[in-house]
Chain A
């Protein structure tokens, strides 16, 4: 039996934390991009954009940490997963380029603002879809031979991976809508409440579909979820998802300003936990475990020293930056 908290396991948690931090932070700002067409050009769009402009760059840095951390801590997994998911990963990177520059470009070029707004939305949707497809494709399994990917370059495209992609679009859109509920007021906020209601129902349906499909992807998943006695533990996950979903719907109806965003994050956390149940200790399902993929201990130790000091500091000043830009984002005439 492998000790629970050896270095590879610890690093699996650090990477999972980076992924979750990424979802927490970039999820809502991608979501705002997805919802952009639903807002009126002018003050509505401007205040939606301004609510994330000072922080998007830091948010995306978690994606770099996720990718860089995976290469550093689990180089074999990085070397297998990225070629396998070549098309969606490249699509995500290109989409992030469009939406990232749109933050600046739309202000510099009012004459073409609608094009950059379009780039912002399309980039956000494609990036999210690609992230979801990537996750779905990973979950459904990757063909591995020796130390490299051995499948074709369209293997990632299946109904299941598309379902996960669409679910993530709905999920991020909900994070965006609930973020705007917190950060805006008046017309934008009302609009966001209406959108959030529909999206919440959509996300709950999506979570249901993905959860129902996952155990049937491979025998191992079914075992992990339904074998006795783990089922006593694993059953808690859907139970908590149900409770959180119900509370979220109530919160949206009763207009609790802060809770919908936090509860949506709770749903994401539970989904990540579910993902952990399905995958751990594999990093490439049924093919490569975190121990097989892990870099030598010297590499993991060296990084752990830095990570344990630096990540808390990063969280502290990221928190400070959010605090500086706290409160409602303005719209014209507030003063």
Chain B
């Protein structure tokens, strides 16, 4: 009853499931690590207690999010081999070194300094502790750099040759790393991570302002987060537009699927706002469209011709309904974020940032929007790359491991059960921490771990206890 196609579909679903779950955590921790570095820096610079309290408040949440990111990430580094062995064999010489660099430059840096960042407050000087926080923040960025470079190469492969065993052989590392879609994807994804974090911080701040608008910590975090959203949301829309133009140049079929353009439009393509794409029939039913607007956006000329999927071999079509809808979810949320940012600017201008309740409710509702947008964007770009793993060169169907469907089905089922239990519990703990109002005298992640706080380790002789963070707690 199971044939090869089933095993392939199951393997694809397994990868989509594990990578989507994993992606949630880094998209939060990349932004949060930077936010923590800013908070600690502000505290060192201004000496204001509120920044230290906020630092410790978010550090506890960071510890949980980071742990979940690490364990779900270890899974990813083995999934290539377990489920996509042919891809690993063929693309390994190009992709592998990029990921090895990610491990060597980012993972070790993050992991090496995370312990000091989380538990080292009483053991190293303030500046050293800040340096550890910075190292973790920089590590998260470097990690994004390499993994997005690898991903982008799969989207826009350049700088390779092919040897007699059918393997991609690197010829120009510079071209491979800085492949055509990489700069756009890097900017767009890292900004997405910053936006996601700003929305979470803003949502938490809003929640506590709704309960007590005088809470100092809630006011500071809400103000910082709304400022960030107001600045980054418009930039992100701009970056997204440029990324889209880049995709049009290198992966036109993906843009056709995003736009729902099954047919070519020789004199100006319409912008389909909504509709029901029908892959079989090759048409978008009940489409609501703005004439010529798509050409205007993509070609900056309302009458410019745009090709549709009818110019692409049907065997090479991505699955349009998924790409079409995930793209609209992402863009819709992006504009909602822009609206939130603008409303917050208006409230700030009127001096009502901390007591305009509708804004707080909106910010609260938008708290998780970043995650949804990030996953939707990821689905757009990855499903849009189909039916290839290495775009135009290696089909997904030819990339999978020679596994029997029951083996893949069993592991998929276990992943689903385990992820929902473990990451469900973890998300619950994060929400519990977020539900507590920030307050003066906030404790760090060591709270509750009496043995660590009262640890009898001789302080390093070079450290003056009065200068350590622990002395202030």
Contact = CB atoms under 8 A, between A and B. Distances in A.
Contact of B170 (A46, A69, A298, A332): A298
A335 B456 CA distance: 6
| Interface bracket on B | 35 or more
Interface string B99-143: 111111101111111111011100110000000000000000000
A38 interface: no
Contact of B451 (A46, A75, A94, A298): A46
Nearest to A58: B111
Q: Which of B64, B426, B451, B454 gathers most chain A CB within 10 Å?
A: B451
Interface of A: 43, 46-47, 50, 53-55, 57-58, 60-61, 63-65, 67-73, 75-76, 78-83, 86-87, 89-90, 93-94, 96-98, 100-101, 103-105, 107-110, 147-150, 153, 295-296, 298-299, 302-303, 306-307, 310-311, 314, 317-318, 320-321, 324-335
Interface in B57-86: 63-64, 66-68, 70-75, 77-78, 80-82, 85-86
B73 to A, nearest CB: 7
B71 A299 contact: no
29 contacts: A50-B452, A53-B452, A57-B70, A57-B111, A58-B111, A61-B108, A72-B92, A75-B92, A78-B89, A83-B402, A86-B403, A97-B75, A97-B418, A101-B422, A101-B426, A103-B67, A105-B64, A108-B432, A295-B93, A295-B96, A296-B170, A302-B170, A303-B97, A314-B112, A324-B123, A324-B460, A325-B457, A329-B455, A331-B456
Given A64-B77, A105-B425, 17 more contacts: A57-B110, A71-B95, A76-B89, A86-B403, A86-B411, A93-B78, A94-B414, A104-B63, A108-B448, A153-B403, A296-B167, A296-B169, A306-B104, A310-B108, A325-B457, A333-B454, A334-B456
Contacts of A148: 85-86, 89, 401-402
Given A328-B456, A332-B450, A79 B88 contact: yes
Question: What does DSSP make chain A's interface, helix, strand, loop or mixed?
Answer: helix
A109 B448 CA distance: 10
Given A82-B85, A101-B67, A298-B169, A69 B100 contact: yes
B116 A50 contact: no
Contact of B68 (A101, A110, A330, A333): A101
A82 B403 CA distance: 11
Nearest to A152: B404
A73 to B, nearest CB: 7
Nearest to B166: A147
B458 interface: yes
A94 B418 contact: yes
B75 A71 contact: no
A321 B78 contact: no
Contact of B97 (A302, A311, A321): A302
Contacts of A330: 451-452, 454-457
A284 to B, nearest CB: 13
A107 B104 contact: no
B8 to A, nearest CB: 14
Contacts of A150: 402
Nearest to B171: A298
Contacts of B82: 82-83, 86, 89-90
Contact of A78 (B92, B97, B403): B92
A326 B459 CA distance: 10
B145 to A, nearest CB: 14
Nearest to A110: B448
Q: Which of B119, B163, B432 gathers most chain A CB within 10 Å?
A: B119
Contact of A67 (B63, B78, B97, B404): B78
B175 interface: no
A44 to B, nearest CB: 10
A325 B123 contact: yes
A335 B454 contact: yes
B173 interface: yes
Interface in B25-70: 63-64, 66-68, 70
A60 B457 contact: no
B163 A296 contact: yes
Nearest to A303: B97
Contacts of B96: 68, 71-73, 75, 78, 295, 299
Nearest to A63: B74
Contacts of A47: 451
A108 B404 CA distance: 40
B80 to A, nearest CB: 6
A50 B97 contact: no
A296 B78 contact: no
B255 interface: no
A64 B107 contact: yes
Contact of A79 (B85, B104, B456): B85
A327 B456 CA distance: 8
Contacts of A73: 96, 100
A70 B103 CA distance: 12
Nearest to B172: A298
A232 B75 CA distance: 43
B290 interface: no
Given A78-B88, A79-B81, A105-B425, A71 B433 contact: no
Interface in B401-452: 401-404, 407, 411, 414-415, 418-419, 422, 425-426, 429, 432-433, 447-452
A55 B115 contact: yes
Contacts of B73: 64
B165 interface: yes
Interface in B202-245: none
Contact of A60 (B74, B165, B415): B74
Contacts of B90: 75
Interface in B129-186: 163, 165, 167, 169-171, 173
A328 B457 CA distance: 6
Contact of A325 (B97, B99, B119): B119
A296 B78 CA distance: 21
Contacts of A320: 112
A299 B124 CA distance: 40
A306 B101 contact: yes
Given A87-B407, A101-B67, A58 B108 contact: yes
B94 interface: yes
Contacts of B429: 104-105, 108-109
Given A75-B93, A90-B414, A60 B104 contact: no
